[in-house]
Structure 1
């Protein structure tokens, strides 16, 4: 999920003209729709008495692991989901939408061997070159603060045979809440000012080389550096963002903040440590990429569609548990429940588990391009993709009519769920935060069922700590119930939804999927 778009959506929601919570939402509707209490009760009972969430989470997060596009684990996850749906009597398929650079992570060892021995916490970045069977032992150098690009070019040959540190040395690894809770106001202000000053100075240091972060790594590699050492701190205890490497021949390794700053201080203090680094990875060529699609066929209006939606891929610093394993679990569990208690829906219910959301919503954008018949006949799509928290907001995505039908469908949920959900109408159309935006851009009714934080942006969004133990199963169970009820109500609605764009709202342009990626 793209955090900037998520924050934009939250900002818009907070400023919406109509923002009503709980039972106050449910006073009037434009047309009658009475939910079958027996179906609602059966959904609740199955979700609470026979939940499969913990089992699914263990199999996916612990067993398969992270699901970086182009890796064998991504295809393994696709096949696992198809088999799981089949075991529930739900037809499913893997639908190819493109190809990607194939890559597989191998083992990594990062050790300091002088001035003392210490194994360092670190993660080889995605698509990083490995070292084969070699282990490199060398001293560390820090990117210096030089006057200009000419001085950088004169310094550059000195990196040959060295590990080069290219990230700022943070003054503290304490998170914001910890500092606010315990520091004196003057201490907090001082630490924050120091951190801000160092960050700005480091950005200026890189600019003076005449290069960007991406091209800097390439220049260091070309000059003979043995590895690039980074620290992409996520502003929390022990947590780093893990993205992709920009090098082609030597590894790029993110060192955890506590160890990165140790190595930096030793180097800056005139006693540069010697590190031993061994990383392995495999290039797998060009591999096919897939969306996993499952279907419960409609009985009365099979050519109208309700969709559940969550991206299946992840970054691979952790295991992709909350981005977006929990969204995946929510939709799989909702489909399992619906098949058991509502096996003959009025409209066809689909679920889309999308590939390569993290590189630009590519799987869902491809689906929108490839299935205009579904997009044109979409009753509604519900997408979940911002962490393990219970759903607390639902916006109209800039359409006029959802105030009526979303309110009515939400009203079918028990008070313990619906009273927590705040709505905003008409809202603003999503422009790229997650896969619902692929449908909104095409003028279809795609909605984000958005969750509370659990410090998602700091601790699990694209980080090395996004793992099974961060899942809050009570909240995910809440979300599976809500998704199942919304899908049931959308399927049973007497009328097809109408989705008129609110006048005066700028609509996002539809963006084509990248069908072949990772080779730049």
Structure 2
């Protein structure tokens, strides 16, 4: 999931407001035998733990282009086939193929210590047994000429390119335990350090993204960084920019130690043994499953979640929980409603993390479906209960979303806040691929559970962070809403709102439909 753009602002004018679903609606509900059966099946026969075990513990992280991603596609396809769904892997492009191995980082001087860290995705491997080298800090150059004069000195050395954090404690501990003066002092020190480090990077004449390649070309033994989230133990793990030497991320505690040793003239040394395999090029896929409908089989309700992940952890909350939620919702529907009016299609998208590529490819490759999609329900932001649904700028979304929610027992919707008509998301997750084509697509946005700083794209995104009661809640909720959407007499309205003026007084435009990136080159 691309976290920074997931939650969009609602439109100030014409908004019906934020509505907390009233419990009085539930009291007035008529009994629906299908809804009762969905709740019973999801409660007494849940397969969520089994799905999570196979996907996160057995297969593990699902970085696009890796053998594990292909294994995940095949496992999901086979699971749906075993349930009686039609399932397939749809090829849409290629990506650089790579397989992660082990990373062992040892400080060899001024003392021996194992360090906590790992190579970034697609990092080149080191020599077998590792490479030993001195650790130096990126020079505090005043000009690009100064940087270029220093650059030859990095040959055979490991270069630290991240800021030294003034503290390894999260803000909430400072707020809870520090004096007001001490907390303010720490915040000022951190802001000053961030500004100074940004200037240090700028003065090299290169961006932070360009710098690793420059250091590599100058003969550095490797590039060392620490992308700390502000939560103890949690670092973000993205992709390497180097092509010949390893790029590694080290935990904030060990990184800070190396930085201080280097800055104080102790000339620390580390041995980096980072093993991985460059496998050339791999095909990319979406895994599609369909529970065929009856009367309106050529119309679709889509359950949407991305199968890929970054690989610092096992991709449990981004987006393993979304995948197992949709699998469970689909399984429940097959058990309870084997012949829905409309076809239930489950999209398990590839390469969402590189720009919604899988869902954008599906939309681009299936124009014949655009006018036949009733709705898209997307899940992609953690393990929590669904708590927010925005109308995404569809004028009449209030009517049909609340109609479908009306059928949901109070237990499964009592915390949901709705925002209508809302405004269309411009990015963030796979529903955007559909919204940009005027197809009603809705993010089933979840309670945080610390997602943003703790598990989103970090080394802590692992199966132990899953809250199964919340995921079960979501599977039952989505199964009921998919059932009601499938049984509607007609396709719902796609009428859009008139977007407001921006800060320049110009009319905002509906998000542009973008094509997928079909290759990593």
Taking structure 1 as the reference length, the TM-score comes to 0.96
Alignment of 1:427-442 (within 5 A): 427-442=422-437
Pairing 1:362–2:357 present: yes
In 2, Cα distance between equivalents of 1:442 and 1:504: 16
Q: Structure 1 stretch 107-116 or stretch 361-370: which is displaced more? A: 107-116
Q: Cα distance, 1:26 vs. partner?
A: 5.1
Q: Cα distance, 1:40 vs. partner?
A: 0.7
Cα deviation, 1:328-384, whole Å, max 9, x if unaligned, reads 111000001100011100000000000000000000000001111222111001000
Are 2:383 and 2:471, in contact at CA under 8 Å, matched by a contact in 1? yes
Q: Which residue of 1 aligns with 2:22?
A: 23
Q: Structure 1 stretch 271-280 or stretch 317-326: which is displaced more? A: 271-280
Q: Cα distance, 1:132 vs. partner?
A: 4.0
Q: Which residue of 2 aligns with 1:456?
A: 451
Are 2:104 and 2:118, in contact at CA under 8 Å, matched by a contact in 1? no
In 1, Cα distance between equivalents of 2:59 and 2:10: 37
Pairing 1:201–2:196 present: yes
Which residue of 236, 239, 243 corresponds with 1:241? 236
- Structure 2: give runs of 5+ residues left out of the alignment: 501-508
Q: Structure 1 stretch 452-461 or stretch 131-140: which is displaced more? A: 131-140
In 2, Cα distance between equivalents of 1:513 and 1:491: 28
Alignment of 1:48-447 (within 5 A): 48-447=43-442
Are 2:10 and 2:419, in contact at CA under 8 Å, matched by a contact in 1? no
In 1, Cα distance between equivalents of 2:387 and 2:12: 13
Cα deviation, 1:24-79, whole Å, max 9, x if unaligned, reads 7959xxxxxx9861111111111111111111111100000000001100000000
Q: Cα distance, 1:504 vs. partner?
A: 2.9
- Secondary structure in 1 matching 2:81: helix
Q: Which residue of 2 aligns with 1:513?
A: 516
Q: Which residue of 2 aligns with 1:6?
A: 6
Are 1:25 and 1:407, in contact at CA under 8 Å, matched by a contact in 2? no
- Secondary structure in 1 matching 2:401: helix
Cα deviation, 1:408-433, whole Å, max 9, x if unaligned, reads 00111111122211111110111111
Are 1:35 and 1:489, in contact at CA under 8 Å, matched by a contact in 2? no
Q: Cα distance, 1:14 vs. partner?
A: 9.7
Q: Structure 1 stretch 187-196 or stretch 56-65: which is displaced more? A: 187-196
Q: Cα distance, 1:224 vs. partner?
A: 0.6
Cα deviation, 1:194-231, whole Å, max 9, x if unaligned, reads 11111111010010011111221111101110000001
In 2, Cα distance between equivalents of 1:181 and 1:460: 23
Cα deviation, 1:404-462, whole Å, max 9, x if unaligned, reads 00000011111112221111111011111100000000110111110011110100000
Q: Cα distance, 1:12 vs. partner?
A: 3.1
In 2, Cα distance between equivalents of 1:350 and 1:358: 22
In 2, Cα distance between equivalents of 1:476 and 1:75: 25
In 1, Cα distance between equivalents of 2:474 and 2:282: 34
Residues 108, 14 of structure 1: alpha-carbon distance in 2 compared, 3 angstrom cutoff: farther
Are 1:357 and 1:434, in contact at CA under 8 Å, matched by a contact in 2? yes
Q: Which residue of 2 aligns with 1:475?
A: 470
Are 1:241 and 1:462, in contact at CA under 8 Å, matched by a contact in 2? yes
Q: Which residue of 2 aligns with 1:31?
A: none
Cα deviation, 1:96-119, whole Å, max 9, x if unaligned, reads 111111111111110012211111
Q: Which residue of 2 aligns with 1:30?
A: none
- Secondary structure in 1 matching 2:230: strand
In 1, Cα distance between equivalents of 2:98 and 2:44: 41
- Secondary structure in 2 matching 1:234: coil
In 1, Cα distance between equivalents of 2:157 and 2:217: 12
In 1, Cα distance between equivalents of 2:320 and 2:30: 30
Are 2:433 and 2:513, in contact at CA under 8 Å, matched by a contact in 1? yes
In 1, Cα distance between equivalents of 2:88 and 2:234: 36
In 2, Cα distance between equivalents of 1:463 and 1:438: 25
Q: Cα distance, 1:90 vs. partner?
A: 1.6
Runs of 4+ with >4 A deviation: 13-17, 24-27
Residues 43, 244 of structure 1: alpha-carbon distance in 2 compared, 3 angstrom cutoff: same
Cα deviation, 1:259-307, whole Å, max 9, x if unaligned, reads 1001111111211211111111111112100001111000110011000
